[in-house]
Amino acid sequence: MAKFLARRAFTTCIVVILVSIISFSIVNVLPGDLAAAILGEEGGADSQRYEELRASLGLDQPLYIQYLNWLTDALRGDFGISMRTQEDIGPAIVSRAVPTIQLAIFAMALSILVSVPVGVISAVRQRTMVDTGGTLFAILGVATPGFWLGIMLMLVFAVWLRWLPPSGFVPFWENPVEALRLMIMPGIALASGLTGVLIRQVRASVIEVLGEEYIVAARSKGLTERVVLYKHAFRNAIFPVVTLIGLQVGQTFGGAATVEVVFSIPGLGRLAVDSIFFRDFTMIQAVMMFLALTVLLTSLLADIVYARLDPRVRYA
Amino acid sequence: MDRLMLGPRFSAFREFVSTPRSAVAVGIIVVIVCAALFADVIAPMDPNAQDYTVVLQPPSLDHLLGTDHLGRDLLSRLIHGSQVALLVGVASVGLAAVLGSFLGLLSGYASGLVDEAMMRVMDALFAFPSVLLALGITAALGPGTFTIVIAIAVADMPVFARLTRGQVLTVRERDFVTAARALGAKPKRLIFRHIWPHVTTPVMVMASLHVGFAILTEAALSFLGLGVQPPTSSWGGVLRTGFAFLETAPWLSAFSGAAILIAVFGLNLLADALRDYTDPRG
């Protein structure tokens, strides 16, 4: 167990370094540099000011030195200053992460609540109408563009029926009722794809476990089908689902970009989109780095949870 | 026509489409491919023709799916939009599958440090949410159809690299590979002649699934305004306009999103049917 985790942590560190290189280089292949962008069109003509600014930003250094400077600052939590809003990037990202994380947790919870029962029922009633319905629902979930589902929900429940507020964000701890009312539509929009993926995984792993010998043994010693299903089958079937949820965190963040734009939620996804529109290089770097790190850490966490849950991994 | 003359491939196809699921999938895909290939013939109007006398008209007999804020016929725009969707979907996934499988083959066959290094780079690419990585790459290269293809291909490559590597690792230990090696086959021959054929089927299944995902990513990028640029008609672009006129012209959003949904649904159904067809154990 300790050896497994140590190895896992070590490779994660290497991947983190590679992630930082990718984040850094994406921005550095952008046409034009930071100094030109800060000075704007008129200022760019003044070559002396341009050179001074380049020097003060460290842009006259070789690229790998620039990278190392950026990385060491980033490790101290200093991501620099946004070129667009002039605010400190670190605190800006933390404050914009709150809505995204709240929305992602809500969507994932919603997804698990729907997909586990649907997947289990599909598996138990394999090759019946119920199963076909469940599978069709899953494929539709995966095929639906989440942000479009959000727009359609907004049209029906906010524009026509006026049951829900069309957009906005409130932190959960400030006003839980209003927060939930605001999160229902974006939450469903963000959950649709994940729900489809999870239903299929739950169904597949329950079917696989139900074919195991220990299930036959449990049945033959006279346990009720309910006990066999919940105590023996479900517990074993849930492991691959945990791993998959960990892997889907990234997709959920990606989906949040469009959903946040649709519902005017001031989260990280919208921050990324806005920064790209306004060519806010320093911010793009930091947001990409932050999101990728979160994905890596949750996937590491999912592995640890998996190891805690499954003794076969722990003692291997 | 004599059925025998059509050969074994045709009878395999007939067997494949005999289930309702694959028949629906093939049906949807044939319709979309035809729409894309013959867009100029099928579309009732020029997708870019503006007519200010029929701005934001709801669906009617003149304009079956209504018109947008410039009086352009929505049905014609959606039919032409299928070209972008298919082009981006197939080109980006094709590129991702070729590059990814090549890296996966090398990685799985080479093992050791080379394998470790390549897989960690794939892990790093995989850590970025694909829409975001694609957004970053489009920002770097400037928006446009070609850029989107590159961006989605890079974001999708790790999936194919991992899949291929996994297949190679199981196949390379099989007896026929050992036998071929004992007979003196060189690595190049081992990889392409003996191992590669066992990798193609899962890669094809994965590719058909990912063409659908690529269409979703393209739609998301175009919806955000960073994808295919106007006036070229793309489903995500129409949805972007539709969202701006949600209250006055909801049909724009409804039909453009439905087009994306149907296309991706057909491709996912196909991937599903292909997997069951090629792997009866599953």
Q: Choose among A11, A155, A253: nearest Cβ to B246.
A: A155
B257 interfacial to chain A (CB closer than 8 Å): yes
Is a pLDDT exceeding 70 seen at residue B3?
no
C-alpha radius of gyration, chain B, whole number: 22
Look at residue A41 in the predicted model and tell me its pLDDT: 58
Phi-psi category of residue A264: left, alpha or beta, with phi > 0 → left and psi -120 to 50 → alpha: left
A311 or A156: which leads in pLDDT: A156
Using pLDDT thresholds of 50, 70 and 90, give the confidence band for residue A8.
confident
Look at residue A47 in the predicted model and tell me its pLDDT: 76
Distance CA A299, CA A297 (A): 5
- Lowest mean pLDDT: which of A256-265, B2-11, B44-53? B2-11
Mutate to test the interface with B, among A135, A148, A197 (most CBs of B within 10 A): A148
- Lowest mean pLDDT: which of A163-177, A233-247, A257-271? A233-247
Look at residue A42 in the predicted model and tell me its pLDDT: 57
pLDDT, mean over chain A: 87
Look at residue B6 in the predicted model and tell me its pLDDT: 59
Q: Choose among B127, B247, B254: nearest Cβ to A19.
A: B127
- Lowest mean pLDDT: which of A58-67, A273-282, B152-161, B242-251? A58-67
pLDDT, mean over chain B: 89
Mutate to test the interface with A, among B135, B238, B281 (most CBs of A within 10 A): B135
* Cα dist from A278 to A37, B124, B243, B251, whole Å: 10, 26, 21, 31
Ordered DSSP codes for B169-184 = HHHTTSHHHHHHHHTT
Distance CA A221, CA A223 (A): 6
Q: Choose among B138, B223, B272: nearest Cβ to A258.
A: B223
**Three-state DSSP class for B150?**
helix
DSSP-derived letter for residue A125 is T
Closest residue by Cα to residue A15 from A253, A300, A247, A256: A300
How many residues comprise chain B? Answer: 282
Distance CA B38, CA A171 (A): 51
Q: Give the Cα-Cα-Cα angle A46, A50, A53 (nearest 5 degrees).
A: 145
Q: If you average pLDDT over each of A22-36, A70-84, A122-136, which comes out highest?
A: A122-136
Residue of A nearest to B272 (CA): A139
DSSP-derived letter for residue B191 is I
pTM (predicted TM-score): 0.91
Percent pLDDT > 70 in chain B is 96
Is a pLDDT exceeding 80 seen at residue B131?
yes
Phi-psi category of residue A178: left, alpha or beta, with phi > 0 → left and psi -120 to 50 → alpha: alpha
Least Cα separation, residue A9 to chain B (angstroms)? 13
Q: Choose among B132, B243, B261: nearest Cβ to A144.
A: B261
Per-residue buried b or exposed e for A88-114, using 16+ beta carbons within 10 Å of the residue's own CB: ebbebbeebbebbebbbebbbebbbeb
> What's the rounded mean pLDDT across residues B62-80?
92
| Digit-coded pLDDT (tens) for A30-65 | 655 666 666 665 555 667 777 777 777 777 777 888
Look at residue A313 in the predicted model and tell me its pLDDT: 67
Distance CA B235, CA B260 (A): 7
Domains of chain B: 87-282 (1.10.3720.10)
Look at residue A315 in the predicted model and tell me its pLDDT: 60
Distance CA B71, CA B249 (A): 12
Sequence-distant (≥ 6) Cβ neighbours of residue B183 within 8 angstroms:
none
Cβ contact B127–A296 (<8 Å): yes
CB-based contact A119:A206 (threshold 8 Å): yes
A154 or A77: which leads in pLDDT: A154
Domains of chain A: 2-89 (no CATH), 96-315 (1.10.3720.10)
Distance CA B13, CA B66 (A): 38
Cβ contact A251–B129 (<8 Å): yes
Distance CA B196, CA A70 (A): 42
| Digit-coded pLDDT (tens) for A298-316 | 888 888 888 777 777 666 5
Cβ contact B225–A277 (<8 Å): yes
Q: Choose among B242, B246, B265: nearest Cβ to A159.
A: B246
Alpha-carbon dihedral A95, A99, A105, A111, rounded to 10 degrees: -160
Percent pLDDT > 90 in chain B is 56
Cβ contact B254–A27 (<8 Å): no
Is a pLDDT exceeding 50 seen at residue B2?
no
Look at residue B1 in the predicted model and tell me its pLDDT: 43
ipTM comes to 0.90
Residues of B in contact with A159 (CB under 8 A): 246-247, 250
> What's the rounded mean pLDDT across residues B198-217?
92
Is a pLDDT exceeding 60 seen at residue B158?
yes
Ordered DSSP codes for A220-285 = HTT--HHHIIIIIIIHHHHHHHHHHHHHHHHHHHHHHHHHHHHTT--SHHHHHHHHHHTT-HHHHH
Look at residue B231 in the predicted model and tell me its pLDDT: 84
Q: Choose among B135, B140, B219: nearest Cβ to A30.
A: B140
Residues 138-177 (B) with a CB less than 8 A from some CB of A: 138-142
Look at residue B8 in the predicted model and tell me its pLDDT: 66
Is a pLDDT exceeding 80 seen at residue B255?
yes
| Digit-coded pLDDT (tens) for B21-34 | 889 999 999 999 99
Cβ contact B132–A272 (<8 Å): yes
Q: Give the Cα-Cα-Cα angle B137, B141, B143 (nearest 5 degrees).
A: 90
Mutate to test the interface with B, among A13, A136, A276, A287 (most CBs of B within 10 A): A276
Look at residue A266 in the predicted model and tell me its pLDDT: 94
| Digit-coded pLDDT (tens) for B31-60 | 999 999 999 999 998 998 888 888 898 999
